[in-house]
Structure 1
Amino acid sequence: MDIKLTIALYAMVALVMVAAPAAEAALTCGMVASDLAPCLNYIQHGGTIPPTCCNGIKTLSAAAVSTEDRRTACTCLKNLLSTNRDINLELANSLPAKCGVPVPYPINPSTNCTKIN
């Protein structure tokens, strides 16, 4: 991974950790960013999905057990998408299905996370 991408990833993690809602959720934006970090290159450039990316998505899905967890994950995803303009939204939105993980809302900066159950 080149140094600029590494710095950008750490900056995104820091941003989402600061922006994390202070809810009762056990899931944090740091966890979301960590689980999804292996996906960053794919959702920026396409190509082959790394197995570690799908594993991270599966880990995140398993960790999002409560409504608050799912809302936190959604909000964190929105923040990640908003802070990185190099992300291809079509690739990001199709990734869960390609990894065999159902996500009941679109991966999009305009998703209303408060409506997620």
Structure 2
Amino acid sequence: MAGLVKVACVVVMCVALVGAPLAEAITCGLVTSNLAPCLAYIQTGAPPSPGCCNGIRSIIQAASTTADKQTVCNCLKSSAGQAPGYNDRNARAIPGACGINVPYFSTSTNCARIRF
């Protein structure tokens, strides 16, 4: 019985470690993968999917420092040029359509001026 309790404790600790979020640096890959569900909205103005809005929320939560926010901004700007059918007006409207306040969803944003 004592052995079973020890095994159960080890399993619980492993699950807790695997489930614990790790501090992760913001990368353009992370930004683009989280925002990929927003591409239809950016191209056509179709209502944003829940995946799009959740992706934006995830990026906002992950970008906790000024440097992180500037990275997100720069990634958005560089990704915009690669997105087929990119519409900057639609891109700027995504946060509002999702009920989220994010001031840097535009290719005209000066990312170096972002301070939080």
> What's the TM-score bracket when you normalise by the shorter of the two chains?
0.7 to 0.9
Deviation, 1:31, is 0.5
Deviation, 1:85, is 4.8
Consecutive unaligned residues of structure 1, counting only runs of 5 or more, are 1-24
Matches within 5 A, 1:85-104: 85-104=84-103
- What amino acid sits opposite 2:112 in the alignment? T
Residue of structure 2 in register with 1:70 after alignment:
69
Which of 1 and 2 has greater Rg?
Answer: 2
- What amino acid sits opposite 2:98 in the alignment? C
Distance in 2 of aligned mates of 1:89 and 1:53: 16
Consecutive unaligned residues of structure 2, counting only runs of 5 or more, are 1-23
Deviation, 1:83, is 2.0
Matches within 5 A, 1:23-62: 26-62=25-61
Maintained 8 Å contact 1:43/1:88: yes
Maintained 8 Å contact 1:32/1:73: yes
TM-score by length of 1: 0.73
TM-score by length of 2: 0.73
Maintained 8 Å contact 2:31/2:72: yes
Distance in 1 of aligned mates of 2:30 and 2:67: 14
Maintained 8 Å contact 1:64/1:70: yes
Secondary structure of residue in 1 paired with 2:48: coil
The one of 87, 105, 108 aligned to 2:106: 108
Distance in 1 of aligned mates of 2:73 and 2:92: 12
